[in-house]
Structure 1
Amino acid sequence: MSGLLAAAPARLGATGRRASARRPDWRPFLAAPAWWLAAFVTWYWPDADDFPETALLSRLLALVGAVLFVAALSGRLHRRGPWAVALGLALAAWEVVQAKLLWLKRPFFGTPQDLLDVFVSDWRRLADSLAHSLALLGVGYAAGALLGVAVGVGLGRAPRFRYWAQPVIRLVGPLPPAALLPLAFVLIPSSRLASEALLALAAGFPVAILTWSGIAAVDPALYDVARTMGAKDRFLVWRVALPAAMPQIFVGLFMGLGVSFAMLVVAEMLGVKSGLGFYLQWAQGWAAYPNMYAALLVMSVMCSVLMSLLFKVRDRVLRWQKDGLKW
């Protein structure tokens, strides 16, 4: 009897948990009203000035609200629901504070209509700048990553190479690549090639150091087992050293990509007269602050997408460490 009484609270607790698990979660359905509120404020509250694209902005906000409502009905908005609500309310607050009341000083602080007008009227120049930035970053980062892995393998596997290369890396590697920009423009006649070389240096240093660290940490017993089975030096590098060092290599690739983003903006502002960095400088020079904010937004999306793609590659290569690091 006492056992039944003791088990009753546990059964009641389990029943309560099952009942709470079945309780519907209405929080994802708050996202659509938040965006519809932003659309209502944008359309029905008169603007404090003659801002462009007010009608288009209100329609887009209402459309996003409808998409979020469908996503909530399908159950795909459970985790992102709070963020969707916060973004909708933030847009509504931005619209009220700046477009309706003009509380912030213009032209330094624009309105949502100003930002949308940049994407509508100047999308070709933004797209061209994005293409130039991706091309410059792709060549420089890929060259730096490949060179960094090769140097890291040499440092980890070849004592003679390490003897000569290590002092050079210690001397040049810690220098900020932007500090070498004037020297690169003197030594390399093409500003684009100079920028790509500095991007390669920015990406190559962390990749080389982390590759070296990963190869140095490989258990020597693995090499001994491979040699007893007749493995040559090339096999030891490609099938033993590099796979074992791959987690460290990807850490270096992530670090190199972050440094390359910073170097890309500096190179485009000071040397290569194209790309998002040059677009930022042009917008600042003409006090076109909405254009500057639009370029910053495009740059943020570009960097986030590239980092996410690199994480996808890492998760595919290192399946056994898939849940170890997230972005």
Structure 2
Amino acid sequence: MGLLAAVAWGAVAALMIVWPDKSVGFARPRYIAQTHGLAVGIAAILLLLALGERLPLLRFIIAPVTRYVRSGGQWFFALALFVALWEISTAKLAWLPAPFFAPPHALVEAYATDWLRLGDSLLHSLRLLFFGFLFGSLSGFLTGVAIGCSKSLGYWLHPILRFLGPVPSTALLPLTLYFFPSSFSAAIFLIALATWFPVTVLTWSGVASVDKNYFDVARTLGAKPLFLITRVVIPAALPHVFVGLFMGLGASFSVLVAAEMMGVKSGLGWYLQWAQGWAAYSNMYGALIVMALLFSSLITVLFAVRDRLLAWQSGAVKW
């Protein structure tokens, strides 16, 4: 399949080079040669990896890469078909209306000419997401443990959780812009609130599901209340905690984009709104791809940490 994928990408490169583009608008397309070179480069790399499996010395060097290419060979082939259809329907025949549907070379141009602004927006989004998710997950974890371990605290916190938790965080945006000194701090609060609710509920569920026999055995051996919480309750509740973190991370992504569209001066959400305002749809698609890769990578890291801490449950939850 790796060799077939290399042939498919070679056909895509030939399609781009041989078939002339259809003229659309008054501006001359840019970065066409770079796009052709990118397609040729992908085909050459896939061909090298496919042929390298037949050479003993080269097979040993590129073995880690070929393993991933072999498992994703069908996806490389499907991606080549998608790029070919994309190129034909936009650049070659102009079936899809411009500028809403830009050809592949427009996406390459967006990355090549606006990478600085896009990179700055990525860093701002990462900073905002880090603080919001950190505060939300810590407060949610502590709240869930408190509700599960203390009936008196649960009496006061449970009604607040049921009343405030289901409310969408973005609905509180007008209030946060009034009470917080800056849009950045308001966005952190909204992301933390969106993370806090699922982490609290799942942590509480994990604490409540701990086998009571564990407490009896620990008390028989002389365990103190603090020991019961740190060595019995929390380790037993960790599977539920990570499910809550996963759900909270997903909720924080949505709130992040919405908050950046409303007030901040930089970020991926702001970049999407800026690109749409200038009808730079290729830049918008480029930001969406970066956003998808970022969010998917963060969830992958979270699951890697989960599999490391919960080695006995490694692979129980797939991503």
TM-score normalised to structure 1 length = 0.90
Q: Of 260, 264, 268, which aligns to 2:256?
A: 264
Q: Distance in 1 between matches of 2:126 and 2:271?
A: 14
Equivalent position of 1:307 in the other structure: 299
User: Are positions 1:100 and 2:114 aligned together?
Assistant: no
Deviations 1:36-56 (A, max 9, x none): 111111112111133211111
- The Cα shift of 1:245 comes to 0.6
**CA-CA distance at 1:169 after TM superposition:** 0.7
Corresponding position of 1:45: 19
Which residue in 2 is equivalent to 1:4? Answer: none
Cα distance in 2 for partners of 1:168, 1:323 equals 35
Q: Hey, which bits of structure 1, 4+ residues long, moved more than 4 A?
A: none
Aligned ranges 1:29-44 → 2 under 5 Å: 29-44=3-18
Aligned residues: 301
User: 1:179 and 2:171 equivalent?
Assistant: yes
2:214 maps to 1:222? yes
Question: Which piece of structure 1 moves more, 73-82 or 215-224?
Answer: 73-82
Higher Rg: 1
* Aligned: 1:114 with 2:92: no
Match of 1:192 in 2: 184
121-130 vs 95-104, which moves further: 95-104
Q: 1 CA distance for matches of 2:235 and 2:251?
A: 25
Deviations 1:47-85 (A, max 9, x none): 113321111111111111122223334352332111000
Given residue 290 of structure 1, which amino acid in structure 2 is its aligned partner? S
Q: How does 1:1-327 map to 2 (within 5 A)?
A: 27-49=1-23, 50-73=28-51, 74=53, 75-76=66-67, 77-327=69-319
Calculate percent identity across the aligned residue pairs: 51
For residues 243 and 67 of structure 1, what CA distance do their matches in structure 2 show? 46
CA distance in 1, matches of 2:239, 2:47: 41
Equivalent in the alignment of 1:5: none
Residue in structure 2 matched with residue 7 of structure 1 by the alignment: none
Residue 22 of structure 2 aligns to a residue in which SS? coil
Give the SS at the match of 1:110. Answer: coil
Q: In the aligned structure 1, how far is the partner of 2:316 from the partner of 2:88?
A: 43
Distance 1:99 1:52 in 2: 12
Moved more, 130-139 or 282-291: 282-291
Separation in 2, partners of 1:256, 1:191: 21
The aligned residue for residue 24 of structure 1 is: none
Q: TM-score, normalized by length of structure 2? A: 0.92
Long gaps (5+) in structure 1: 1-26
